[in-house]
Amino acid sequence: MKGSGPHPGPRYVALVRVLRATEGLWEASRVFFDRWELSPSQFNLLILLYERPAGCTQIELSRELIMHRSNVTGLVDRLEARGWVKRQDVHTDRRAYHIVLTPAGHRLLRQIPKQFAIVRHRPVPPHTSHPRNPIAPPKLAATLSSHKNAR
């Protein structure tokens, strides 16, 4: 029987739309940060450290970024190899490190154009007729992508 199964309700439809919009924003961010060979997750970690000059432990970063500690370890390893962060001993716990932004990390964050902040804070239109995602702003990905060519 066609159409006799359960039909998703409006909350399910809204959730799917939010997930699609999130996926689109993540992809646009990935493209934007590619010019620095930086992932959105790496950028998020750098911004957290920028906001906390004393640094954070990897456990604190894990909680703030909502990701497993092993993933944070990998992010820190890659950022440390590029000279953007460093591990400092925590004097009260020999098993832990404070991760801090280096001067090179500060310079990197100053290089990232203010345009990202402008694009990020643009209001999202209440509705668009984009065929794959009716609530994703189709111009956002194009706007972020256009900056990739402006190296």
pLDDT, residue 130, reads 47
Mean pLDDT of the chain, nearest integer: 79
Cα–Cα nearest to 82, from 46, 47, 50: 46
* CATH code of the region 10-122+132-143: 1.10.10.10
Q: What is the pLDDT of residue 56?
A: 92
Alpha carbons 13 and 101: distance in angstroms, whole number? 41
Confidence at 3, pLDDT banded by 50, 70, 90: low
pLDDT digits (tens, 9 = 90+) for 82-110: 999 999 988 888 788 899 999 999 999 88
Calculate ∠ Cα 81-55-22, nearest 5°. 75
Q: What is the pTM of this model?
A: 0.67
- Amino acid 2: pLDDT: 59
Band of pLDDT at residue 116, cut at 50, 70 and 90: low
- What three-state secondary structure class fits 57? strand
Q: How many CA atoms lie within 13 A of 19 on its CB side?
A: 6
Torsion angle of alpha carbons 91, 92, 94, 95, nearest 10°? -120
Residue type, 40: P
| pLDDT category of residue 131 using cuts at 50, 70 and 90 | very low
- Taking Cα atoms as reference points, which of 141, 144, 124 lies closest to residue 18? 124
For a pLDDT cut of 90, what percent of the chain falls above it? Answer: 42
